[in-house]
C-alpha cells in the first residue's frame, strides 16, 4: 500500500441524491461556523467555502476472504484467559533447557566443539522450552487456554489495508469521505503538528495519572483515561476544533429536514456536535479491548447510519505491538444483527504522532494489546454525533457555562460543545437559544424562538 496517498476510486459526487440525512429537502448549503484555532498555524486547514452536502448512500458490501493462520505458542507473551483464576491476562513466559538444547550440546561434543557446548544452554533461547504462566496465580498454562482468537501475534490475517491520505493533499475531504463510505475508516497523516500533540500529551498527563479503574470492565485496568478536553487546556480545545475534522463531520453528519407548520413549508438543518472527548494511555501489559461499535449508545439501526464519527489522534507512536487500535474495514456495512466481529478480521491502525484515524460510528474496532515492556501508547479521541442525539459525555457538566465564560470560548466552540439549538427547537433554555440567553451571543446562527 502506498504510504502517502489513498487507494480510493476516482469517482466524485457532484450532486448528491437524497439519503437518510435528507427528507425531501430543497437543495441547501450548510454554512460552516468554524473559527480557525488561534495557535498551531501549521495544522491542516480547509477551505470553509466548500459546500457540505449529505453523503450519498453507501455502495453494496463486497465480500472479503479472510485467511486464518494456525496459532503457535512462542516465547512472546500472549493474551488469554487463565483456566484457574479465570482472569483475562497477558501470559508471563519462562525459558528452560529442554531436549533440543541437550541434543545440540551432544552434537557439538561429538564434533569437538566444547566451547559451543558450554554456551548453548545460556545463549540460544530459540532451542529452549517455553512455559507460559499466569502472572496472577502463577498457574502453568496449557495449550487449551489459548483459543485462536486470543493469540496476540496471530490474531490478524485479514487481507485488507487502511487507506492513508496526507492531510495537506488537495481534495483531502473528498478522499476521506470516499474511504468512509467504502471502508468505514481512513488514516490521515500529518493532521496535527508534532508540537501540538506534544503539548496535548503534557496537558493530559496529570489526568491520566489520577484516573481510576473502570468499574464496568469495558476498559481494561491497564488503560488510563482523561476526559472533558474543553475544560483541560487550549491545546486540547484546538485539537477538537481541527478544521479538517469539523469539515468532514459537517459533510457526513449534518441533517437536513423539511416539514410543514400549517400550510407553511420549512427546511432546517442540524449540525454535528461533540459526543465525547477522551484521552487514552495504554500501559505495558495492557489487554485488548473487546471489538465494538461506538454508536450503540444511540441504539443505532442500519437506517440511521451514519450517526457519528470518531477521530483517534496519536500522541505517541502507535503500532501493533504496543496496542494500536484494531479496526475491521468494511464492517460498517454489516446489517445482520447476528453477525459478530472476529478478532482475526481486524487489522491495526498504525500511526505516527500527529496522524489520525477517522472512522464511522458503526465500524467495529477495539484498543489493542500492549505487549511491550516499556512503551506507553497514548492517543486522544474526538467523537462527534448528529446534533439531535444525546451526547455520550455530558458536556454541560464537564464544561458548565461558568467555565465556558472563563475560557472565553468562541461561538463556534460553544456550538460544537452543544450549547446551540438543533433546529427547529431542540436544546432551548427558557424557550430561548442558550447562545443568547446564557452567553448573550446573537449572530447569524442564533435561533429565534
Question: In this predicted model, which residue has the larger pLDDT, 266 or 337?
Answer: 266
Confidence of residue 84 (pLDDT cuts 50, 70, 90): confident
Interval 376-409: pLDDT, tens: 999 999 999 999 999 999 999 999 999 999 999 9
Nearest Cα residue to 294 out of 238, 332, 342, 242: 332
Number of separate domains in the chain: 2
Confidence of residue 261 (pLDDT cuts 50, 70, 90): very high
Question: Are the CB atoms for 211 and 224 separated by under 8 Å?
Answer: yes
Q: Are strands 377-385 and 347-348 parallel, antiparallel or unpaired?
A: unpaired
Question: How far, in Å, CA of 117 to CA of 106, rounded?
Answer: 7
**Residue 151: pLDDT above 70?**
no
Question: How far, in Å, CA of 359 to CA of 361, rounded?
Answer: 7
- The conformation of residue 119, written as its DSSP 8-state character, comes to H
Q: How far is CA 15 from the centre of its chain?
A: 30
Coil, strand or helix at 398: helix
Where in the sequence is the domain holding 190, given as residue range(s)?
157-437
Confidence of residue 118 (pLDDT cuts 50, 70, 90): low
Average pLDDT over the chain, rounded to an integer: 79
Question: Which region holds residue 138: left if phi is over 0, alpha if psi is between -120 and 50, else beta?
Answer: left
Whether residue 137 sits in one domain with residue 93: yes
Coil, strand or helix at 417: helix
Question: Which region holds residue 284: left if phi is over 0, alpha if psi is between -120 and 50, else beta?
Answer: beta
Residue 263 CB coordination number (10 Å): 5
Whether residue 290 lies inside any domain: the answer is: yes
Nearest Cα residue to 183 out of 56, 329, 363: 329
Domain boundary among 150, 170, 202: 150
Whether residue 218 sits in one domain with residue 86: no
Whether residue 366 sits in one domain with residue 279: yes
Interval 293-340: pLDDT, tens: 999 999 988 888 899 999 999 999 999 999 999 999 999 999 988 899
What is the pLDDT averaged over residues 60-67? 35
User: Looking at residue 60, what is its pLDDT?
Assistant: 39
**Residue 347: pLDDT above 90?**
yes
Whether residue 146 sits in one domain with residue 163: no
Question: What do you get for the CA distance between the two ends of the chain, in Å?
Answer: 53
Amino acid at each position: 500500500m502506498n504510504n502517502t496517498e489513498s487507494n480510493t476510486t476516482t469517482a466524485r459526487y457532484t450532486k448528491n441524491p437524497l439519503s437518510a440525512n435528507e427528507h425531501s429537502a430543497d437543495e441547501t448549503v450548510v454554512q460552516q461556523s468554524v473559527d480557525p484555532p488561534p495557535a498551531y498555524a501549521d495544522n491542516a486547514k480547509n477551505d470553509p467555502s466548500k459546500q457540505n452536502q449529505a453523503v450519498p448512500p453507501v455502495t453494496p458490501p463486497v465480500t472479503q476472504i479472510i485467511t486464518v493462520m494456525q496459532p503457535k505458542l512462542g516465547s512472546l507473551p500472549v493474551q488469554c484467559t487463565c483456566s484457574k483464576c479465570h482472569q483475562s491476562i497477558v501470559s508471563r513466559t519462562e525459558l528452560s533447557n529442554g531436549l533440543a538444547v541437550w541434543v545440540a550440546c551432544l552434537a557439538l561434543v561429538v564434533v569437538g566443539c566444547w566451547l559451543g557446548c558450554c554456551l548453548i544452554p545460556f545463549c540460544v533461547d530459540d532451542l529452549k522450552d517455553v512455559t507460559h504462566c499466569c502472572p496472577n496465580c502463577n498457574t502453568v498454562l496449557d495449550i487449551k487456554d489459548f483459543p485462536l482468537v486470543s493469540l496476540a501475534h496471530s490474531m490478524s490475517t485479514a487481507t485488507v489495508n487502511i487507506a492513508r491520505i496526507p492531510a495537506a493533499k488537495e481534495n483531502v475531504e473528498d478522499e476521506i469521505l470516499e474511504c468512509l463510505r467504502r471502508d468505514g475508516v481512513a488514516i490521515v497523516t500529518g493532521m496535527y503538528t508534532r508540537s501540538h500533540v506534544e503539548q496535548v500529551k503534557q496537558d493530559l498527563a496529570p489526568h491520566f495519572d489520577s484516573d481510576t479503574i473502570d468499574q464496568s470492565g469495558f476498559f481494561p485496568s491497564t488503560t488510563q483515561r482523561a476526559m472533558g478536553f474543553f475544560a483541560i487546556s487550549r491545546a486540547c480545545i484546538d485539537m477538537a476544533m481541527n478544521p479538517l475534522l469539523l469539515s468532514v463531520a459537517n459533510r457526513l453528519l449534518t441533517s437536513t429536514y423539511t416539514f410543514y407548520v400549517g400550510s407553511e413549508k420549512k427546511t432546517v438543518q442540524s449540525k454535528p456536535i461533540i459526543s465525547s472527548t477522551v484521552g487514552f494511555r495504554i500501559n505495558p501489559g495492557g489487554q485488548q479491548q473487546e471489538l465494538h461499535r461506538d454508536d450503540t449508545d444511540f441504539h443505532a439501526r442500519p437506517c440511521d447510519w451514519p450517526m457519528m464519527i470518531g477521530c483517534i489522534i496519536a500522541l505517541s507512536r502507535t503500532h501493533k505491538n504496543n496496542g494500536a487500535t484494531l479496526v475491521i474495514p468494511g464492517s460498517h456495512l454489516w446489517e445482520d444483527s447476528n453477525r459478530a466481529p472476529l478478532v482475526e478480521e481486524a487489522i491495526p491502525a498504525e500511526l505516527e504522532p500527529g496522524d489520525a484515524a477517522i472512522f464511522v460510528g458503526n465500524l467495529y474496532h477495539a484498543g489493542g494489546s500492549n505487549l511491550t515492556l516499556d512503551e506507553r501508547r497514548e492517543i486522544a479521541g474526538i467523537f462527534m454525533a448528529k446534533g439531535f442525539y444525546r451526547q455520550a459525555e455530558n458536556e454541560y457538566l464537564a464544561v458548565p457555562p461558568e467555565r465556558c465564560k472563563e475560557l472565553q470560548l468562541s461561538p463556534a466552540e460553544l456550538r460544537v460543545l452543544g450549547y446551540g439549538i438543533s433546529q427547529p427547537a431542540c436544546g432551548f433554555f427558557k424557550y430561548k437559544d442558550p447562545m443568547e440567553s446564557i452567553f448573550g451571543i446573537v449572530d447569524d446562527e442564533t435561533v429565534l424562538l
